[in-house]
Amino acid sequence: MHNEPHIVSAFDRDLETVQALVMRMGGLVEKATLDCARALETRDEELARRVLADDSAIDALEAQVNEECARVIALRQPTATDLRTVLSVLKVAGGLERMGDYAKNIAKRTSVLAQFTPIEGTAGTVRRMAKQVELMLKDALDAYIRRDAQLAADVRSRDQEVDQIYNSLFRVLLTHMLEDPRNITACMHLHFIAKNVERMGDHATGIAEQVIYLVTGQMPEDPRPKDDRTPFVASVND
């Protein structure tokens, strides 16, 4: 019995260490989300290159989280709620890593789009989408730290707003392509970018759902609110 408090506090310390790594990851992903959209809007190829370079730090942090979680499971052998906490950390880190990849994908296309005539208003709309996703992610991570299922549910509902912006932008891009075939290549790149941002929103929502799982012990039963009504989906990695 004398060892029990030591075991519990050791697990808590391990968990704090891992959660600090996840929060550092989250900060980098929030920055990448805003920077890739700003680079697109301002045609700042240097900023886009920084987003590409910084993705390696996000990947390294995820690898560190995975290693720490494996170590905690092996050493502490957590059960029930504690194991659920460790598994949720792995899921959150995985979602953040995917969001970083999408930001990197957007940055890659920025230098390509810089060679084309701008499609009026579209880059600003992408930036507005990205800002919405960044705020969702910030709140999802806050909900995770505070174990706030209500805030997480709010984040989950806001994914529809990202979908609505995406749908609107898709229609605008379609109009530009129909009006002038010379716009097709640039519009296709912009569509891939918009779809990447929309998928980032999905991953932010997934992080919010992990918070709900962590707090309640079960994933939300109602279908995730979605509002993607575009007739085709760009081929981007999940």
What's the pLDDT tens digit per position in 91-122? 999 999 999 999 999 999 998 999 999 999 99
| Residue-range domains of the chain with CATH | 4-216 (1.20.58.220)
Q: Residue 10: which pLDDT band, with cuts at 50, 70 and 90?
A: confident
pLDDT at 8 over 90: no
pLDDT of residue 78: 85
Lowest mean pLDDT among 4-8, 138-142, 179-183, 210-214: 4-8
Percent of the chain with pLDDT over 90: 79
In three-state secondary structure terms, 34 is helix
pLDDT of 3 over the 90 cut: no
Q: Are 162 and 226 in contact (CB under 8 A)?
A: no
What is the pLDDT at residue 81? 84
CA 224 to CA 4: how far, in whole Å?
40
Q: What is the rounded average pLDDT of the residues 197-226? A: 91
CB contact at 8 A, 64 and 31: no
Quote the pTM value.
0.89
Query: According to the model, what pLDDT value does residue 224 have?
Result: 76
Write the pLDDT tens digit of every residue in 125-183.
999 999 999 999 999 999 999 999 999 999 999 999 999 999 999 999 999 999 999 99
Q: Please state, in angstroms and rounded to a whole number, the distance separating the CA atoms of residues 195 and 167.
A: 10
Q: What is the mean pLDDT of residues 33-47?
A: 96
Is 236's pLDDT higher than 80?
Answer: no
97-128 residues labelled b (16+ CB within 10 A) or e (exposed): bbbbbbbbbbbebbeebeeeeebeebbebbbb
In contact, 195 and 233? CB cutoff 8 Å: yes
d(CA 93, CA 138): 14
Nearest partner of 68 among 21, 8, 25, 27, judged by Cα: 21
What distance in Å separates the CA atoms of residue 128 and residue 33, rounded to the nearest whole number? Answer: 11
